[in-house]
Amino acid sequence: MTLPHPAADRTFQVDLRGLVDLLSHHLYSSPRVYLRELMQNAVDALTARHTLEPDAPTGAFGVRLYADGAVVRVEDDGVGLTEADVHSFLATIGRSSKRADRIAEQRGDFIGQFGIGLLSCFLVADEIHVLSRSARTPDAPAVEWRGRGDGSYSVRTLPASARPRPGTTVTLTPRADAGEWTRPAQVHALARHFGSLLRHPLTFDDGTAGPGAPGTSVNPEPAPWARTYPTPGARSRALAAYGEEVFGFTPLDTVELDLPAVGLKGIACVLPETVPAGRRHGHRVHVKGMLLSEQAEEILPDWAFFVRCVVDAESLRPTASREALYEDDTLAAVRDALAEKLRAWIARAAASDPDLLHRFLQAHHLAVKSLAVHDDEILRMLLPWLPFETTDGHTTLDEFARTHRTVLVTSSVEEFRQVAAIASAAGLGVVNGGYTYDRELVHRLPEIRPEATVADLDPATLTAHLDPVDRETELAAAAYLAQARDALAVFDCDVALRTFQPASAPALLVDSREARHERTRSQLAREQEGGLWGDILGALRQEAPRAQLILNQLNPLVRTAVAIDEPELARTSAEALYGQAAMLSRRPLRPAESSLINRSFLDLLAHALRKDS
């Protein structure tokens, strides 16, 4: 009997071209990231070297970029690689020295960790050439590695003289189709873009100044928040100018951000103009100086869409694409802490800079209102200063509550339009609660101004301020009112006669939203007469609040109208008064109302012309 052969263990094969294709189409946003990855490896190598030689002065080790159109070279004075390191880290995809156990505790010191960044060089070149010398084993020879896009690589050692000092030089010979990303001017621009805040010396050389030339500094100055300034004013002007340079707008104010616990520094620029709701701007996030993302949204909560930030953090963790941040506890803590800073800025403006607060609210009151609804602290600080539409015009709640002991609030814009003139003539203070958040916010005023009373404005409150007419006038108008009721019965509208100010207003249509809603139901009930649904809706109809057309006895036109003895003309005038009052409310008219307005206008015109002829 023959035993089956045991299954042989095999090793996965990697199709490097397929992998690079995957990275370029799905991980990286543009081939330009190759330079960021190389700079980042160089920076990580410098970090490791400083750990190895803690006494070396800052700035002792640097990074030099070179691009002359034929090659792109990134040279660093970092920790370097031994031959074993080269096999282990450069030639093994997915393996990173920055994740090895012995330095696990230092993981946070490095930007890279996945062991794939180097592959991004294949986006612009077919071969990566690395020449390195380890600072850990100074006697080791220099080592040369050539990695090719087809997945093959070669390693050889060279005499120490090939690279007299520790460090690593990566050289790429760009493919013809990658010229856009590798020409000298572009490399210089990308170096500034990604590396302007790096803390190690970084230079660029395009080869024109000849061999050995020192190159131009890419980051000659520390980050603007890390510099010293003669006065606080000079500091804030410099930070604002930096914000303007980065974002292209003059910030309304610049908020300095500093969270020592996570090694984060930066600025938040307050946008000078309203941001359309729903539009979210990203923030610029640097990690250890290296620009990671220009569109990071995760570092601030949604409500903070009135600022754009530039931050540089020590301990945020980039994802493999580097263009986003890991949603971890540190990020959550950073988000909370930054939100706190913005709250503190708002509080300071509210307490001590009324002009700034005013300009801020002018641009962002909608954002602040949406924020105040869910945030008690913002509510407490800012509610008194927020602008509302009121019967005294556009004013702050604080101001309004000072002149009106009871603040009345409508539940719709139309209601406000209907009653504003009459309510203010009657001395009532009404706020338009029809806009998003407004009614809810006004109702919370007593939480911070306990002496203020807030109530919903219902039609009854207003009608209570309309004075009844005397019996005699009522009687004299009875016939007219009956005709008017009859004419307007189709709209479920009652008609009454009162006196109220202003005398110029002939009529008021009290027609709350609920009343209209009820009427739609009762109309439905009429249409569905007989069925169960009809019965239910019919029962509801019993309690349906009716609209009320209140004629103003003080108005000269109304006085003439109630004395009309021609029945047709009386009906038409009632319809015209209803139509005018409905139009004044600026609510959308129903088709029946539009045709009523049309008809009554033509009837009145015909009547006037007849009279004249």
User: Which residues are near ligand ATP by CB under 6 A?
Assistant: 37, 41-42, 44-45, 76, 78-81, 89-90, 96-98, 112-118, 168
Q: What is the largest CA-CA distance in the chain?
A: 128
For the purposes of burial, counting CB atoms within 10 Å of the CB of 538, is it exposed (0-12), middle (13-18) or buried (19 or more)? middle
Question: Whose CA is closest to 491, among 371, 343, 605, 600?
Answer: 600
Minimum gap (Å) between residue 118 Cβ and ligand ATP = 3
Nearest residue (CB) to ligand ATP, 61 versus 305: 61
Nearest residue (CB) to ligand ATP, 118 versus 307: 118
Query: Which position has the token pair 């006038």?
Result: 473
Minimum gap (Å) between residue 54 Cβ and ligand ATP = 18
How is residue 498 written in tokens?
A: 């009162």
Minimum gap (Å) between residue 125 Cβ and ligand ATP = 15
Nearest residue (CB) to ligand ATP, 107 versus 358: 107
Minimum gap (Å) between residue 193 Cβ and ligand ATP = 18
Nearest residue (CB) to ligand ATP, 64 versus 98: 98
Minimum gap (Å) between residue 159 Cβ and ligand ATP = 20
Minimum gap (Å) between residue 15 Cβ and ligand ATP = 17
Name the residue type at position 446: P
Contacts of 68 (CB under 8 A, 6+ apart): 184, 206, 207, 208
Tally of CB atoms within 10 A around 199: 18
Minimum gap (Å) between residue 119 Cβ and ligand ATP = 6
344 vs 544: CA distance, rounded Å? 50
Whole-angstrom CA distances from 145 to 82, 90, 149, 572 are: 11, 8, 13, 97
Minimum gap (Å) between residue 93 Cβ and ligand ATP = 8
Question: Whose CA is closest to 286, among 252, 253, 251, 246?
Answer: 246
Nearest residue (CB) to ligand ATP, 64 versus 265: 64
20 vs 18: CA distance, rounded Å? 6
Evaluate whether 379 touches 372 at the Cβ level (below 8 Å): yes
Nearest residue (CB) to ligand ATP, 113 versus 453: 113
Minimum gap (Å) between residue 112 Cβ and ligand ATP = 2
For the purposes of burial, counting CB atoms within 10 Å of the CB of 591, is it exposed (0-12), middle (13-18) or buried (19 or more)? exposed
Nearest residue (CB) to ligand ATP, 330 versus 390: 330
Nearest residue (CB) to ligand ATP, 80 versus 429: 80
218 vs 206: CA distance, rounded Å? 13
Nearest residue (CB) to ligand ATP, 131 versus 576: 131
Question: Whose CA is closest to 307, among 242, 369, 243, 373?
Answer: 243
H or E element in which residue 9 lies:
none
Minimum gap (Å) between residue 316 Cβ and ligand ATP = 14
Q: Could you give phi then psi for residue 449, rounded to 5 degrees?
A: -125, 80
Nearest residue (CB) to ligand ATP, 50 versus 541: 50
Minimum gap (Å) between residue 78 Cβ and ligand ATP = 5
How is residue 121 written in tokens?
A: 């060089």
Name the residue type at position 375: D
Per DSSP, the three-state class of 526 is helix
Nearest residue (CB) to ligand ATP, 131 versus 296: 131
Minimum gap (Å) between residue 122 Cβ and ligand ATP = 11
Whole-angstrom CA distances from 81 to 114, 153, 173 are: 17, 16, 22
Minimum gap (Å) between residue 314 Cβ and ligand ATP = 16
DSSP for 119-137, written as a single string: GGGGGTEEEEEEEEE-SSS
Nearest residue (CB) to ligand ATP, 313 versus 554: 313
Question: Whose CA is closest to 237, among 224, 220, 249?
Answer: 224
H or E element in which residue 505 lies:
none
Nearest residue (CB) to ligand ATP, 96 versus 600: 96
Nearest residue (CB) to ligand ATP, 37 versus 575: 37
Minimum gap (Å) between residue 334 Cβ and ligand ATP = 20
Angle between helices 329-352 and 354-374 (to 10 degrees): 130
**Residues pairing with 254 in the sheet:** 269
Nearest residue (CB) to ligand ATP, 147 versus 224: 147
Minimum gap (Å) between residue 431 Cβ and ligand ATP = 56
Angle between helices 413-425 and 567-584 (to 10 degrees): 110
Minimum gap (Å) between residue 291 Cβ and ligand ATP = 15
448 vs 433: CA distance, rounded Å? 18
DSSP for 65-131, written as a single string: EEE-SS-EEEEE-S----HHHIIIIISSTT--GGGSGGGGGGGGG-S--SS-GGGGGGGTEEEEEEE
Nearest residue (CB) to ligand ATP, 168 versus 412: 168
Q: Can you say how many angstroms the Cα of residue 186 is from the centroid of all Cα atoms in its chain?
A: 32
